[in-house]
């Protein structure tokens, strides 16, 4: 998956915003103000950081050795760095969905209800 397709997929999710809160090279996607994806635009090949269930992270890193790594500059327990151009697009989309869903599940009940109502 190329970075443009990644960006489009993220932005098509409900209540997602994009910004550059850290620097001009790190694109961040948030749902209801909470980060679920980061992308270093200067990275070649394209890499993204996505939140992931810790048990699933271990399995993914073993299955996709060298393509799914512990999150770069993130909590290694809860984030993975994905070399997305070398992985099947369907898997990348599934991992984006998983990250988004984890963040939504961690929102307050009030924010979850607001999101659901939109």
Backbone phi and psi for residue 14, each to the nearest 5 degrees, phi listed first? -65, 130
Q: Please give the model's pTM, rounded to 2 decimal places.
A: 0.93
**CATH code, domain with 24:** 3.90.1150.30
| Sign of the CA dihedral running 97, 48, 81, 17 | negative
Q: What's the confidence (pLDDT) of residue 44?
A: 80
pLDDT at 74: 85
pLDDT for residue 76: 84
Q: Which domain holds residue 56?
A: 3-117
**pLDDT in the model for residue 46:** 86
**What total number of domains does the chain contain?**
1
Percent of the chain with pLDDT over 70: 100
Task: Report which secondary-structure segment, H or E, holds 35.
Answer: strand 34-40
pLDDT of residue 108: 94
Tell me what pLDDT residue 2 has: 87
Instruction: Tell me the per-residue pLDDT of 62-100, one tens digit each, with 9 for 90 and over.
Output: 999 999 999 878 888 899 999 988 899 999 999 999 999
């Amino acid at each position: 998956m190329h970075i443009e397709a990644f960006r489009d997929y993220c932005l098509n999710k409900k209540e997602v915003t994009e910004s550059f809160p850290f620097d001009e090279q790190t694109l961040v996607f948030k749902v209801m103000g909470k980060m679920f994806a980061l992308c270093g635009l200067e990275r070649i090949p394209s890499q993204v950081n996505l939140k992931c269930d810790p048990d699933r992270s271990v399995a993914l890193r073993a299955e996709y050795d060298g393509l799914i790594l512990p999150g770069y500059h993130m909590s290694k327990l809860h984030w993975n760095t994905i070399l997305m151009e070398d992985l099947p697009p369907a898997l990348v989309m599934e991992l984006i969905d998983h990250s988004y869903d984890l963040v939504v599940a961690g929102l307050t009940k009030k924010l979850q209800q607001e999101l659901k109502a939109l």
